[in-house]
Every structure is written in C-alpha cells, then in structure tokens.
Amino acid sequence: MSDETAPSVLSPKLEEILQALSDRAFAERLRRVYTAAGQAIARLSDLDLLKYETAHVDDSPDLSLWEEMAPVIRDTVMDVNALLNVIREHFASQPVAGKAGAPLTATVEARRAKDASELLQGWMQQLAQGVTQLGEAMRNPAVVSDRWTLLAELQRLRARFREQIGNLVFESASAFGPVTRQQVVPGHEAEVKAAVMVRALVADLARIVSARLAKVREAEPEDVQWNAQQLQTELDAFGRTAAYRHLRAQDKRRVIEVRGKVGQLSIQGNPRKPELLAAVEELDFFVRTLSNVNQRQVLITHDREVWAGCGVRLERAAGLLGSDPVTAAKALAETAATAQSLYGRDAKLDNFLRKARKQPLAQLTGPELRSTVETLQTLLAGLDVM
C-alpha cells in the first residue's frame, strides 16, 4: 500500500488522548508512533494471496514463485522495521519530561506516560523478535519446500504482526484511560467486518455441504455424477466469495484438495458412490472445523458487545409489548438486524436470523410479536459469549 493510501490521520479517540496531554513534546512523540503503527497495519493487511495460489496442492516453490514472493517478504520486514525505527527514535531511551525539562514523577499524567512508554518498548521487543522469526522461517526447508506451507507461514506472521501492533496501540492508549479497540486500533473495524463475513459464509457453506452429503448418501448409482457436478459448482461459487480470500492458506489448501477429488469424479462416466461419499464426508468434517473462527479474540469481543446491545433492545421491546406494540416491533426488527452479525455462531440462532431476513418483523402484532421477542430472547440467552 502506498503512502498516499495509508492512514494519515488518527482516530478521534487517539486525538482526544493526545490533545489532553500537557507534555506536548511527549504527545508529539506518541503521535508519530501511532501514525507509523496505522501505516504498518494498513500495509500488512494489503496482501492478496490468491495470485500466489494454484489449483493444485502438490506444487513446490519454483524460481517464479520466489521471484513473486521475495518482494512480499522484503516488504513485510521493511513495514515492521519502519515502525520499530520510529519507536526506537522516540522512546528507546528518552525520559518522560515536564514542560521545563525536569523528569515528571509526581503527577498522574507522568505515571501514565511512563506506563505507556514501557508498554511501547515491550511491544517493540516482541515485534523485533517476530522479524527474526520471519527470517528463520524463510530459511526453514520444511517451510520453503512447500508452496502452501510457505504461504500459510507468511500469512500467519503478517497477521501476528498486525495483532501485536494493534496491542501496542491499544495498551499504550489504555494507560491514559479506558478505551476500546474499535476506538483506537487502526483497521480494527475492517478486521471485525472481515471476520464476521467469513463466519457467515462458512456457516452457509457448512449447510450446503451437509445438505449435499445427505443427497449423496441417498443417491442412486445414476445420480452420483450429477451430485459430484453440483458439489463442484457449489465449491466454485464459494471460491468466488470474499470469505474465500480471507481464509487461511492451509484451509484453502484443504478446499482445493477436496475439489480436485470431486472434479475427477464429476467427469467420470460412472463414478463410484463410495468415493464421492468419502470426499463429501471429508469436506463436511473439515468445514465444521472452520467454526473455530468463533474463538478468534476479535470475534469474541465483537460478539459480547453485540449480545449485550441486543439484550438491552429486547428488554425494551418486551416492556413495550402491552403499551406500545408498534415501537416494540420496531425495536425487535432493529435487534434482529444487529444480531445478523452473530450469524454462524449458533445453528438455532442462525435459523431464526435466516427467517428474519425474509419476515417484516417491524410489522408484527399481537401474539406473534410477543412470541418472536421471547424466542429471540431465549436464543440470545443460550449463547456462550462469556
């Protein structure tokens, strides 16, 4: 990502924190770090692995791959080092000082500034260690001898760098008062949206594969090839979604591997049912493991906030059922719309949310309105978000 497209302004909350600091020199040093952090996160997010992937899982790196990947590896190191250099320049050894240049030791702001400085230095060390680990990984034969392992490792390290830089900003800003990641971490909102999207589309893929598995189990010999062709079409459709782009490289590898098996069966004149059944069962098991996305910290935090907000709205809706059903129905519709970002977390809630997309909840009245509010309350109460 170029300097022109990298973030050039800080979030309103970070600006508020910096403006409140009486030590303007310290505030300016902190501003430089936060600006560099935002640029680093943006650049580390700007990587489309699709052009490095293949339709096969047994390809090893060749000279052309190394020629393509070398700039990515180089830029990853340079992007992290650019931030490290800013931190070293402004916080490696400089004391926190007052307006007259004397060390601040007595004020609350001084203690907070000292804490923020120590946190920055701690994350600086972790980032530096990560750069070293990246170099070691690129010299590891087990990594560089396999295209997909190489892509997965590079993807993992870049994601970890983004997470560590986000922690650097969040924890140092938290030293000055309560903040949320959404308020201060550059790119956090985009990361949450991507994770929510992946979870939702993977949940739909799981339903599709499960339904296809049931049909294959019941298929007559003459229907086996047709089912293989249908599954191939379904996997191709998933491969064109934005969620596929955001999958981990090792997960894409599994999808491509199964698609290859299904593709071979789809062109056979009389494919054997056991072979297709084994492939679909393998895919069904794998897709179900993708629900582990719910364990990502970014989604755990998001889901807690959404869950709490939905609970408040539903309580309001329940309280208005007798006195103002029109407003209650509107509150229900708003709650269901907000809860859509939880899609993929729970099968029963997913079923409700799919129906809610097609139902004019804001127009419900009487017993149907009450039962729908109570149903959604029960579903949300059953979520494990803590």
Q: Which residues contact 86 (CB under 8 A, 6 or more apart)?
A: 32, 33, 36
For residue 374, give its domain range.
297-381
- Cβ atoms of residues 147 and 59 within 8 Å: yes
Task: Indicate if the pLDDT at residue 105 is higher than 50.
Answer: no
**More confident of the two residues 329 and 47:** 329
**Predicted pLDDT of residue 11:** 92
**Predicted pLDDT of residue 91:** 87
Residue 20 in tokens = 């409140």
Shared domain for 304 and 251, answered yes or no, is no
Asked whether residue 374 is domain-assigned, the answer is yes
Shared domain for 373 and 237, answered yes or no, is no
Task: Indicate if the pLDDT at residue 7 is higher than 60.
Answer: no
Mean pLDDT of 97-111: 59
Shared domain for 91 and 139, answered yes or no, is yes
Q: Which residues contact 321 (CB under 8 A, 6 or more apart)?
A: 328, 369, 370, 373
Q: How confident is the model at residue 45 (pLDDT cuts 50, 70, 90)?
A: confident
**Predicted pLDDT of residue 210:** 95
Spatial CA neighbour of 179 closest among 20, 314, 6: 20
Domain count, the chain: 3
**Predicted pLDDT of residue 49:** 67
- DSSP 8-state secondary structure symbol assigned to residue 296: S
Shared domain for 216 and 177, answered yes or no, is no
Q: Could you give the CA distance from residue 220 to residue 149 in angstroms, rounded to a whole number? A: 39
Shared domain for 127 and 267, answered yes or no, is no
Q: Buried (b) or exposed (e) across 154-171, using 16+ Cβ within 10 A?
A: bbebbebbbbbbbbbbbb
Between 48-52, 126-130, 171-175, the lowest mean confidence (pLDDT) is in 48-52
Asked whether residue 262 is domain-assigned, the answer is yes
Shared domain for 259 and 272, answered yes or no, is yes
Q: Could you give the CA distance from residue 375 to residue 368 in angstroms, rounded to a whole number? A: 10
Mean pLDDT of 119-123: 92
Q: How confident is the model at residue 9 (pLDDT cuts 50, 70, 90)?
A: confident
Task: Indicate if the pLDDT at residue 254 is higher than 80.
Answer: yes
pLDDT digits (tens, 9 = 90+) for 144-184: 777 788 888 888 899 899 999 999 999 999 999 999 999 99
Shared domain for 114 and 49, answered yes or no, is yes
Q: Could you give the CA distance from residue 169 to residue 185 in angstroms, rounded to a whole number? A: 6
**Predicted pLDDT of residue 139:** 84
**Predicted pLDDT of residue 2:** 41
Shared domain for 128 and 57, answered yes or no, is yes
**More confident of the two residues 386 and 286:** 286
Task: Indicate if the pLDDT at residue 214 is higher than 70.
Answer: yes
Q: Could you give the CA distance from residue 78 to residue 82 in angstroms, rounded to a whole number? A: 6
Last residue of a domain, one of 269, 293, 317: 293
Mean predicted lDDT score pLDDT of the chain: 87
Q: How confident is the model at residue 66 (pLDDT cuts 50, 70, 90)?
A: low
pLDDT digits (tens, 9 = 90+) for 219-247: 999 999 999 999 999 999 998 888 888 88
